[in-house]
Structure 1
Amino acid sequence: METKMDFVNESTGRCFWMMFLPVMAAMFLNMAYNVVDSLWIGNLLGERAYAALTSSTPVILILNSIAMGATNGVAILVSQAIGAKDRKKADGIIATSLIVAVAFALLVTILLELSLPMVLHVLNTPKETWQLAKEYLSIYLLGYIAVYLYCYLTAVLRSFGNAVFQMAAMLVCTMLNAILDPLFIRRMGFRGAAIATLLSQTICLAFMVIYMYRKKVIRLHIQEFRKGLIGEIIAKAVPSVIQQSIPAISTAFLTSLVSSMGLCAIAAYGITGKLEIILFYPAMAINMVLTNIIGQCAGAKRSDREKEYLIYALKMGGILLLLLSVGVVGFARPLSGLFLRSEDVAGIVAGYFLIVGAGYVLNTVTNCFLGALNGLGRPFKSMMLMVFYYILVRMPLAWILNHAGWGLDGIWTAVLISHIVASIAAFYAGYTEIRKEAEASAIID
């Protein structure tokens, strides 16, 4: 496949928006995909079923984060190879990583199917929702390989400057889920939602594979498999996996804290997670786009272009998230009513966004610098930053404030403080690396 865009030489604004808009559209379609499940389950099956879905969500988030992180690690290597105009290495990375991806996804599926009861116990899943959550996840896991390969194929395509196909594939998946969900839920109840998800994900992957095979979108030559590249792929993938998984682990920890406060609290926390997607996905899209764009610039040894893209992303991302934050915080209560008609739940949701709302612009700043670090080939540094402000700041602080008598407000305050700390730490680390690249380029010149 030929590179769709030349990030090194073409217009900064054009390249950024041509990548960002399709990726963000795909992520919002993914949001719609998840919201469809939530809306049907909440309105047709009630609070208990919705709480069970919330109890299942941390596991799903972690699994999706593993897929996104591992494939993002592959994207770093492919982007840098393309920027260096080393097509042979790019083909070798693609072939090798594909085989590794299939084997890894199958292994994760088998291990989790066998250990589901233990996982739900660790997450402090309430007795009222335990069986429902177990049934849902046991079915969802059967489609994990489809989720993983979707993330893999779209990550490789982004490395070549093709982000539109990711949007098209997600559109197909979302439409299928919207059609299948009510049919299966009415016939089979809560299990039907999981079966509809499984079918839509599998059909979406089949659509992608058929399209890419017929159009010869990328060259997948198994004979290009290089055993020596496995170590290099793992070295980039593991930090990226941990980096992507840490927020999900944090969510699982906070879910366990909230679970001790009753079904109303956990249902409300589930709704905040759905609404937060509106505010998190644009920042995540910028992170993913900068990984690919700055990866190509780094491969071409163009530190000047790396800085241009980073500054542009900070400006545009900050403006966008400011507007979105105002909308969600201002309309949190009526938005909550779309999922569950409960004044108590709506009050908790509104309180959450009133406290945390100021942190979403800062989260965008954090993701801009994390994307830059990833593109520069420093996923380990990004990972350590995530460990610092999620594991060492957010989780302990949430536990302390909750047990100090602050209750839910204490947990929400810990989330806000972690956003503040994260933006400061990411700015310092990212700025330092960009400056080092610029100094190295000056010495070479």
Structure 2
Amino acid sequence: MTKNLTAGRPGKTILFFAVPMLLGNIFQQLYNMVDSVVVGNFVGFDALAAVGNSFTITFCATALAFGLSSGATIYIGQHFGAGNSRKVRQAVVTSTVFSIAFSLVLSLAGVLLCRPLLALVRTPASVMPMSLVYMRIYLLGLVFTFTYNMLSAVFRALGDSKMPLAFLVVASVVNIVLDLLFVLAFDMGVAGVALATVIAQAVSSVLAFVFLKKQLRQMERQEQQKDGSQLQPTETLARQFQLSVLWEIIRLAVPATLQQIAISGGIIIMQGFVNSFGPQIMAAYTAAIKFENIIMMSITSISIAVTAFAAQNMGARQTERVRSGYRWGLLISLFFALVLGAAAILLREPLISLFISGQGAQAVIEAGSSYLVWTFGSSLFMALLFSAEGVLKGAGDVTFCMVIGFASILVKVAAAYVLSPRMGYQGLWATMVIGWGAEALCATGRYLSGRWKSKGVTAGSWPKDGQLPDGGAQKGAPDEVTGVTEDA
């Protein structure tokens, strides 16, 4: 069900929109954690290190999917806010078809390059075979990762965050059941958890496709009733793929995708530093980052809500409402950062001990626990960063987000080279906080400058007389209007 985010109290609207995404991310992190818990306790810390090491690279593929879907979210959200349902339908079909085609190419390339990529992050010989198995199976199912991310982005752009939650709940249950079945009953090791993940993603993708198709048909029927259109559904669908729309989505997606590539590159580089300390520190990092991801994804849920909120309100010419959304998003994000960051510190040893047992477990627990202490500082900077980025991305100011993403990587690499020889793995944990802090300050400064107001993709079609299409008064239009002029 679509939802208009241009009306109602901003704080309540953002929170209610974010809660289903937050729950969905928790479920997603839950089944990712189950992968690690199962292999760490029933296969060994080498297997846990292999899953974590492989995740560093498979995250790059997921980041590409997220970056591509970001362009669709901005484009669809702004046109939905502007009331242009024709552009919305074109964008949905165009972005989905392109996402599937791109993921198939990437999947083939990834499978062929698995070994060089693992060598790039200095994967120890004892971990290499299991890492290869996990990566190859995961990458073969990459089309489902891309499809689910794109379709979920479409639902969010249309104001519906509940359906993606339902899909993730089903996928989480499937993944957990299959993890236990493949590893404990069939003794498949890391291959089992990888296969379980792929099957779970396939289930969520199919569900998302079926329900979105129904929603598009409903939108089409509503438009036909409104304007008397006699176009047949099959003919309409065949005409939805538009190269001009694809170009606009790619134009928005490229900076976001490059930003995700920068983030992925930074993670790969940091994994290389971590790997240099051996399998036990690799296992500690794998366990600790699972809990940091819960904190990050909780705050990211608010950011995604702010992005959808900002996109629709930019399309509706309500920039003052976008500012209010930023303030509420920041307050909610800081609340999650403080509560979850404090919980990570207080419960650090019991949390890490969930992932490992047996010989060598104590060293893993100590190293992982120390990472969670540093996570508190990171969580505060995440709140600042993602709140500002939510507005910047929703407004279409994606190039700046890309620039600071790359700059953050340079800061992290420099800090890692300086601190790790002096502080050991603790220097790497400190590097994470430094990187988040630098990026957060830059994003907040950009938001405060107000330059994002002129970046809306529907800005070129705003009426010069200051009137809305229905004759209402224009609200909060930016002082300077630039952007792409869309046809009617």
Alpha-carbon distance between aligned partners in 2 of 1:269 and 1:75, rounded to the nearest angstrom: 32
Matched position secondary structure for 2:113? helix
- Indicate the structure with greater helix content: 1
Could you say which residue in structure 1 is the equivalent of 2:449? Answer: 432
| Structure with larger Rg | 2
Matched position secondary structure for 2:83? coil
Q: Which amino acid aligns with 2:446?
A: A
Could you say which residue in structure 2 is the equivalent of 1:324? Answer: 340
Alpha-carbon distance between aligned partners in 2 of 1:192 and 1:355, rounded to the nearest angstrom: 33
What pairs up with 1:18-417 in 2 under 5 angstroms? 18-186=16-184, 187=186, 188-214=188-214, 216=217, 221-341=237-357, 342-389=361-408, 391-403=409-421, 405-417=422-434
Matched position secondary structure for 1:315? helix
Unaligned runs of 5+ in 2: 221-235, 455-474, 482-488
Matched position secondary structure for 1:157? helix
Structure 1 residues 337 and 162, CA gap change in structure 2 (3 angstroms): same
Q: Deviations over 1:112-165 (max 9, x none)?
A: 111111111112111001111101111111211011100111100111110000
Q: Which amino acid aligns with 1:8?
A: T
Alpha-carbon distance between aligned partners in 2 of 1:36 and 1:218, rounded to the nearest angstrom: 39
Moved more, 340-349 or 34-43: 340-349
Q: CA deviation at 1:303?
A: 0.9
Q: CA deviation at 1:88?
A: 1.3
Alpha-carbon distance between aligned partners in 2 of 1:320 and 1:180, rounded to the nearest angstrom: 31
Alpha-carbon distance between aligned partners in 1 of 2:316 and 2:297, rounded to the nearest angstrom: 29
Q: Deviations over 1:149-193 (max 9, x none)?
A: 001111001111100001000000000011111111131222111
Q: Is residue 349–residue 369 contact of structure 2 (8 Å, CA) maintained in 1? A: yes
Alpha-carbon distance between aligned partners in 2 of 1:350 and 1:218, rounded to the nearest angstrom: 50
Alpha-carbon distance between aligned partners in 1 of 2:296 and 2:480, rounded to the nearest angstrom: 39
Structure 1 residues 218 and 156, CA gap change in structure 2 (3 angstroms): farther
Q: Deviations over 1:301-345 (max 9, x none)?
A: 111100010001111111121011100111111100000132111
Alpha-carbon distance between aligned partners in 2 of 1:5 and 1:242, rounded to the nearest angstrom: 30
Alpha-carbon distance between aligned partners in 2 of 1:226 and 1:442, rounded to the nearest angstrom: 31
Q: Which amino acid aligns with 2:399?
A: F
Q: CA deviation at 1:24?
A: 0.8
Structure 1 residues 290 and 102, CA gap change in structure 2 (3 angstroms): same
Alpha-carbon distance between aligned partners in 2 of 1:87 and 1:16, rounded to the nearest angstrom: 23
Matched position secondary structure for 1:441? coil
Q: Which amino acid aligns with 1:223?
A: R
Q: CA deviation at 1:401?
A: 1.5
Structure 1 residues 407 and 292, CA gap change in structure 2 (3 angstroms): same
Alpha-carbon distance between aligned partners in 1 of 2:263 and 2:348, rounded to the nearest angstrom: 22
Alpha-carbon distance between aligned partners in 2 of 1:137 and 1:99, rounded to the nearest angstrom: 25
TM-score, structure 2 normalization: 0.86
Q: Is residue 177–residue 197 contact of structure 1 (8 Å, CA) maintained in 2? A: yes
Q: Is residue 392–residue 447 contact of structure 2 (8 Å, CA) maintained in 1? A: yes
Alpha-carbon distance between aligned partners in 2 of 1:157 and 1:193, rounded to the nearest angstrom: 28
Q: Which amino acid aligns with 1:413?
A: A
Matched position secondary structure for 2:141? helix
Q: Which amino acid aligns with 1:210?
A: V
Moved more, 210-219 or 319-328: 210-219
Matched position secondary structure for 1:140? helix
Matched position secondary structure for 1:126? coil
Q: CA deviation at 1:435?
A: 7.7
Q: CA deviation at 1:440?
A: 5.9
Moved more, 14-23 or 156-165: 14-23
Could you say which residue in structure 1 is the equivalent of 2:440? Answer: 423
Alpha-carbon distance between aligned partners in 2 of 1:218 and 1:135, rounded to the nearest angstrom: 44
Alpha-carbon distance between aligned partners in 1 of 2:253 and 2:301, rounded to the nearest angstrom: 18
Matched position secondary structure for 1:127? coil
Matched position secondary structure for 2:126? helix
Unaligned runs of 5+ in 1: none
Q: Is residue 306–residue 390 contact of structure 2 (8 Å, CA) maintained in 1? A: yes
Q: CA deviation at 1:418?
A: 1.8
Alpha-carbon distance between aligned partners in 2 of 1:374 and 1:102, rounded to the nearest angstrom: 23
Q: Which amino acid aligns with 1:119?
A: L
Q: Which amino acid aligns with 2:294?
A: I
Structure 1 residues 297 and 135, CA gap change in structure 2 (3 angstroms): same
Alpha-carbon distance between aligned partners in 1 of 2:219 and 2:100, rounded to the nearest angstrom: 17
Matched position secondary structure for 1:228? helix
Matched position secondary structure for 1:124? coil
Q: Is residue 95–residue 222 contact of structure 1 (8 Å, CA) maintained in 2? A: no
Q: CA deviation at 1:354?
A: 2.1
Q: CA deviation at 1:434?
A: 5.9
Could you say which residue in structure 1 is the equivalent of 2:457? Answer: none
Alpha-carbon distance between aligned partners in 2 of 1:353 and 1:323, rounded to the nearest angstrom: 13
Instruction: State the identity %.
Output: 24
Moved more, 177-186 or 413-422: 413-422
Matched position secondary structure for 1:383? helix
Q: Is residue 102–residue 145 contact of structure 1 (8 Å, CA) maintained in 2? A: yes
Matched position secondary structure for 1:175? helix
Alpha-carbon distance between aligned partners in 2 of 1:14 and 1:217, rounded to the nearest angstrom: 27
Q: Is residue 42–residue 339 contact of structure 1 (8 Å, CA) maintained in 2? A: yes
TM-score, structure 1 normalization: 0.94
Alpha-carbon distance between aligned partners in 1 of 2:249 and 2:314, rounded to the nearest angstrom: 17
RMSD: 1.9
Q: Is residue 96–residue 222 contact of structure 1 (8 Å, CA) maintained in 2? A: no
Could you say which residue in structure 2 is the equivalent of 1:441? Answer: 478
Alpha-carbon distance between aligned partners in 1 of 2:76 and 2:348, rounded to the nearest angstrom: 41
Matched position secondary structure for 2:396? coil
Q: Is residue 74–residue 311 contact of structure 2 (8 Å, CA) maintained in 1? A: yes
Q: Which amino acid aligns with 2:326?
A: L
Q: Deviations over 1:338-392 (max 9, x none)?
A: 0013211111112122234222112111001011100111111111111112x22
Q: CA deviation at 1:213?
A: 3.8
